[in-house]
Structure 1
């Protein structure tokens, strides 16, 4: 079954594919190879000269880190827009830590959290690890002690530590006022 080239709002699926590919820096040839089709097919699709089957559209969407629905309706093609502070998803953890998810779900390429640590607050008594990703911890306000694989660093405002999420690590507010931290993790980790 081939998908119609034009969505209900009149915008071509091919144009959305081309925009998504450009936004992600994926070449036409790479998209074609990873989706299991020819570069000529992708070119024809992007220019509205070809229809596409559901299975091929699913493959293309997967390579682009999108869903078929996003390609068809285009609502999320430019990101989700503004996230107001009061609309952040909040996790109140033990130990004086409040963590806020900033990245859009479902998580695809990047996982971003903001956090507040009360004086003496921490991510827990024991270091933790998760997945196999690159993680950056940035101190936005106050000071935090970051322990990575047994080595400790005290970060002041504007300092960061870059680590592998598979290495056990933990954070602790090393100051006398609430500390603010930003976590950036790529790719997102499942646990």
Structure 2
């Protein structure tokens, strides 16, 4: 199964998401609690091949149930990559809103929180080609299910957690396109050099 909607075959979604986490998220310390979970192999990488948004949301709900029913030491966090839906960033934001609503209706707000990543991620008020957007760009549209209690415990030991986003953006600017591609070569496939 492949798709031309993204720069990579759908069959590579799990592998590339894991490589991206290890090379970029952990390798650049973008997230202060990711490295221990990678070492403990307690991150779940799930893939939804649903082509309809409501089906994609149901896949998200299934993963939410799975992490809720699993001990934290076995399954600490889940990344759900979507290969056939939420192709454009605006559609992805709609999917994210739907998943957030489902999380709240399940009574799990405050237990889990969601983080979001997309190949075309763009912060509000930021130009699309601004390199700081790459703090939230991943090979496929991805929703990250985070245990809120776990995050809070880690951040207690992290000096100035509110400064993490700004630090990450500054790091993107320092590394530049070539530095990021050197760390994670697949980026070159969907981040062409300017002619």
Range class of TM-score, shorter chain: under 0.3
Structure with greater proportional helix content: 2
Question: Normalising to structure 1: TM-score of the pair?
Answer: 0.27
- Which of the pair has more CA radius of gyration? 1
Question: Normalising to structure 2: TM-score of the pair?
Answer: 0.26
Q: Larger relative contact order (C-alpha < 8 A, sep ≥ 6)?
A: 2
